[in-house]
Amino acid sequence: MAISESTREQLDELVARYPRPRSALMPMLHLVQSLEGEVTPEGIALCADMAGVSAAEATAVASFYTMYKRRPVGRHHIGVCINTMCGLLGGDAVYDALSERLGVGHDQATPDGEFWLERIECQAACTHAPVMTVDWEFMDDVTPASAVDIVDRLQRGETVHSTRGPAIRDFRATEHSLAFPEDGLAAEGTPVDDKMLAGLRLAKERGMSAPAVPAGQEG
């Protein structure tokens, strides 16, 4: 990895945010991925050195968490949830449609480098199942047809808005936000909708509340 002065300054800034340098390892890896589109051995070694851990420890982190990729992801990462709720409601059909459209399988990039497709065990968005993400931004209540349409629009260079967040940028831009969350986009979109608040609304209508915390067990 070619280490520019700007890159080193950003890595130094991440290290300075934590009481111990090793705590900065994960955002540092996201920063490297934002610059290269993958986490390379050279990038891992650089992060390990600056975080004060061994290359083996940094490699263990980079290989354990599936958000870190060891091959170039390409311009857009497409993640389709196929866990229980999404799978039952059509997640597998969504994945199959995208796999056919893109001509790739799980954890593979299209030959032109535009898309990377991944089956994901859980996106933590069961309320809007089936869900997919584009560069980690949510696309809720998708169908095979709507998922393919999103890919078609991205390929044509059209602006595509996520369901509960900002307009889609690209994989590297989102990775940079994971390293430095202060991207000015937190207020974009509608993060909470009526569907997500249905349970709370019903509880209020029925006068339901959570049980009180027993005395002496607060906090």
CATH 1.10.10.1590 residue ranges of the chain are: 5-64
Lowest mean pLDDT among 1-5, 27-31, 67-71, 206-210: 1-5
Q: What is the pLDDT of residues 12-31, one digit of tens each?
A: 999 999 999 999 999 999 99
Selection from 2-6, 186-190, 204-208 with the highest mean pLDDT: 204-208
Express each pLDDT in 133-147 by its tens digit.
Answer: 999 999 999 999 999
Over residues 92-117, mean pLDDT: 97
Assign domain 5-64 to its CATH superfamily. Answer: NADH-quinone oxidoreductase subunit E (1.10.10.1590)
Intervals of CATH 3.40.30.10 along the chain = 76-171
Tell me which of 58-62, 90-94, 130-134, 181-185 is least confident.
Answer: 181-185
CA 80, CA 97: separation in Å to the nearest integer?
11
- pLDDT for 4 equals 80
Q: Is the pLDDT confidence value at 1 over 70?
A: no
pLDDT category at 75 given cuts 50, 70, 90 is: very high
Phi/psi for 77 (5° steps) reads -100, 125
> What pLDDT sits at residue 133?
97
Across 78-100, average pLDDT: 95
Mean pLDDT of the chain: 93
Phi and psi (nearest 5°) for 4? -85, 160
pLDDT of residue 113: 95
Which residues, including other chains, have CB under 8 Å from residue 101's CB and lie 6 or more apart?
Answer: 148, 151, 152
Q: SS3 sequence, the chain? A: CCCCHHHHHHHHHHHHCCCCHHHHHHHHHHHHHHHHCCCCHHHHHHHHHHHCCCHHHHHHHHHHCCCCCCCCCCCEEEEEECCHHHHHCCHHHHHHHHHHHHCCCCCEECCCCCEEEEEECCCCCHHHCCCEEECCEEECCCCHHHHHHHHHHHHCCCCCECCCCCECCCHHHHHHHHHCCCCCCCCCCCCCCCCCCHHHHHHHHCCCCCCCCCCCCCC
- For position 195, what pLDDT does the model report? 87
Encoding tokens for residue 207? 């006068």
Q: What is the pLDDT of residues 32-46, one digit of tens each?
A: 999 999 999 999 999
Is the confidence at residue 2, as pLDDT, over 70? Answer: no
CATH class of 76-171: alpha beta
Q: What is the largest CA-CA distance in the chain?
A: 62
* Of the listed ranges 69-78, 91-100, 171-180, 192-201, the one predicted with least confidence: 192-201
Q: Is the pLDDT of residue 214 over 90?
A: no
